[in-house]
Amino acid sequence: MSEFFTNLKENGTVNIVELGGYLDAHTAPQLENVFSDLIKSKRFNVVVNFEQLNYISSAGLGVFMAFIETMRENSGDIKLAAMKPNVYNIFDLLGFPLLYEIFNSENEAIDKFIKQ
């Protein structure tokens, strides 16, 4: 299994979280910490780039469910981008595309924030 990693970048008012490896029950707390830190520093516009993420389980999905309402209550959002087909399939099985905006690329997701 490939190691999980997160990398945080900024593009103006948009915060980009890059994910890689396996997001599972062991690694989900690392992503929770990233979102907690973003909220503490009042950064509510978030794009998550999934390009290098190979695997997500319910523990990982739960992180997005746990933080989306806080972001939206503060006029922000979590937008998702660049998922591999098998990762997208998991979101799709749960009806998440109706709840989260999912884009083909990081730039498209950033543009959506800028145009809002």
Partner 1 sequence: MNRHYSIEIVNRVSELNRIFEMITKFSLENSLSRDCDYNLNLILEEYLLNLIKYGYKDGRKDIIVVNIELSIDGMRIKVTDSADSFDIRNAEDYDSEMKLEDRRVGGIGIKLIKALVKRIDYEKMGENNIATFICSK
Size of the site for partner 1 (CB under 8 A): 21
Q: Is 74 in the site for partner 1 (CB under 8 A)?
A: no
Least distance to partner 1, CB of residue 12, Å: 26
CA 113 to chain centre: 14
Of the candidate spans 10-18, 35-43, 66-74, 101-109, the one that interacts with partner 1 by CB under 8 A turns out to be: 66-74
In angstroms, the CA 18 to CA 110 distance is 13
What number of residues does the chain have?
Answer: 116
For residue 82, the 8-state DSSP code is: -
CA 116 to chain centre: 19
- In sequence order, what E strands does the chain have? 5-11, 14-23, 45-56, 77-81, 102-103
Q: Which of residues 8-37 bind partner 1 (CB under 8 A)?
A: 22, 24-26
| CB of 8 or CB of 29, closer to partner 1 | 29
Least distance to partner 1, CB of residue 95, Å: 3
Task: Give me the residues that bind partner 1 (CB under 8 A), please.
Answer: 1, 22, 24-26, 55, 57-59, 61-62, 65-66, 68-69, 86, 90, 93-95, 99
